[in-house]
Amino acid sequence: HPFASAPDKAWPVDRFVALCRWLRDDKRLPVTVIGAETDDFKPFDGFDLLRGAELEQVKRLLQSSTLFAGND
């Protein structure tokens, strides 16, 4: 979850993209980027995206996850 409620709480997007690539390409882990419908997902083209999902869907995804990286 590379998005935050305020810019000063956010890790730079290029670092999140690099982390996503490293996890996917070097560690062979599936990566899904989650966020609100209004978030800018453009830097994450090529990754699985979960945009504007209902809370229950996000909770199910997190329950089956090995790792979570996020801001805020």
User: Which two tokens mark 47?
Assistant: 């990754």
User: Which two tokens mark 11?
Assistant: 């890790």
How far apart are alpha carbons 52 and 14 in whole angstroms? 22
In a structure prediction context, what are the per-residue pLDDT tens digits for the chain, which is 72 residues long?
Answer: 999 999 899 999 999 999 999 999 999 999 999 999 999 999 999 999 999 999 999 999 999 999 999 997
The answer to whether the CB of 25 falls within 8 A of the CB of 59 is no
How many C-beta atoms lie closer than 10 Å to residue 44's C-beta? 20
